[in-house]
Amino acid sequence: MFRIPIAYLLLGLMAPNHRTLTRVTPKDPKVRYIGRFDRGDPGGPKCAWPASAVEVAFRGTEMRVRINESGEDELQVVVDGTASQVLKLTPGNATYIAVDGLNDGRHDVRLVKRTEAFVGTTQFVGFEVDGTVLAPSRPRRSIEVIGDSISCGYGLEAKSRVEHFSIDTEDAYMTYGAQAARQLDADFVDISWSGRKMWPDNTIPEVYGLAIPSDRSSTFDFGTQIPNVIVINLGTNDFGWVAPDESKWTAAYAEFIQRLRDRAPKARIYLAIGPMVSNRWPPGVEALSKLQRYLTDVVGIRARAGDDNLRILELGTHDEAIDGMGADSHPSLTTHSRMAQILVEAIRHELGWTSFSG
């Protein structure tokens, strides 16, 4: 995959015969934002959660994007549904060439944050195209995944499990949730952060309501994005060394589901068991068996509350000999693709979804 190592800093000088560029403000109603964005800054929307995306449709041959970056995030450029180059952002304000040299016609360009919240916050300041901005297509469905490093795409591009975390090998665009959403023609929202748990500390519930998870003042308008399917893939870190207290953990999980249900009363909620949970490790904990039992308890708690629109979804235990492994023994790209198929088949079978919002 081709990567752009540094920003193309543009000084406003146009090459001979270069077409005039039209500036597009980040608040233009034709610019589409997918995922959690903080829109309180007049300079432009900010995002930090992985897989946050912005989409611009236009008729022309090139597009540039002006970004104010706080860290070293990476953006996957997707042109007309096909992954293109990766933009490696540098701290501060800069303009980047997203696409250039396209045939002169309609193009849909999406910029997807490959990296997770602790890597940085990305602010979209504006765009430039050499043609006319058009209204992008809008899928009728949305899938939201809530999770930890697995759902962030931690290390999925690494060559082996002995590698450690690297910005370059994290790829939220290729996670199981993102792949499944593309197959089902649905928007994808990824509320995941490495190391997070359900209970009792360092939890996802404590940052779930934030547009920027590192900024306690950034709130998100949940009415703008109501998912049709929610996947909760937590538990890997909860059972990392010892099993948590069963009654307290299941109560916290059930309470979190109620928060989700208040927002999305009709959504199918999947309680996923990720591929890193097994009875082999940690020794003596029997993490997989206990997590299965705990989640069964959660289903029972919710059923007694009148909520039967949720299911346990086992994503299988990854096998290094078959799938390989990513950094720090995380799932490989092959494993993510396999998990995506499990999720896609569950949604198709249980909800009747087909591709292209059929």
pLDDT tens column, 285-309? 999 999 999 999 999 999 999 999 9
Residues 218-240: pLDDT tens digits?
A: 988 888 889 999 999 999 999 99
CATH 3.40.50.1110 boundaries in the chain: 142-351
Instruction: Output the DSSP codes for 95-129.
Output: EEEEE-S--SEEEEEEEEE-S-GGG--EEEEEEEE
Specify the pairing of strand 74-79 against strand 142-147: unpaired
Residues 125-184: pLDDT tens digits?
A: 999 999 999 999 989 999 999 999 999 999 999 999 999 999 999 999 999 999 999 999
| pTM for the structure as a whole | 0.93
pLDDT over threshold 60, residue 80:
yes
User: What is the model's pLDDT at position 282?
Assistant: 87
Residue type, 245: D
Cα 104 to Cα 131: distance, rounded to the nearest angstrom = 9
User: What is the model's pLDDT at position 27?
Assistant: 96
| Choice between 36 and 225, residue whose per-residue pLDDT is larger | 36
pLDDT over threshold 60, residue 358:
no
User: What is the model's pLDDT at position 218?
Assistant: 92
Q: Enter the tokens of residue 344.
A: 């896609």
Phi first, then psi: what are they for 17, rounded to 5°? 70, 10
User: What is the model's pLDDT at position 11?
Assistant: 35
Cα 95 to Cα 8: distance, rounded to the nearest angstrom = 6
* CATH, range 3-134: 2.60.120.260
Tell me the sheet residues that pair with 192.
147
Mean per-residue pLDDT of the chain: 93
Proportion of the chain above pLDDT 70, given as a percent: 94
First to last CA, the chain: 32
Task: Write down how long the chain is.
Answer: 358
Cα 170 to Cα 163: distance, rounded to the nearest angstrom = 12
With residue 146 as reference, give the H or E element that holds it. Answer: strand 142-147
Stretch 262-269: mean pLDDT: 97
CATH 2.60.120.260 boundaries in the chain: 3-134
User: What is the model's pLDDT at position 89?
Assistant: 98
Residues 90-131: pLDDT tens digits?
A: 999 999 999 999 999 999 999 999 999 999 999 999 999 999
The CATH number fitting domain 142-351, selected from 3.40.50.1110, 3.40.50.2000, 3.40.50.12160, 3.40.50.12780: 3.40.50.1110
Cα 17 to Cα 144: distance, rounded to the nearest angstrom = 45
pLDDT over threshold 60, residue 60:
yes
| Choice between 56 and 354, residue whose per-residue pLDDT is larger | 56
User: What is the model's pLDDT at position 7?
Assistant: 42
Instruction: Output the DSSP codes for 66-100.
Output: EEEESS--EEEEEETTEEEEEEE--SEEEEEEEE-
Categorize the per-residue pLDDT at 18 as very low, low, confident or very high, splitting at 50, 70 and 90.
Answer: low
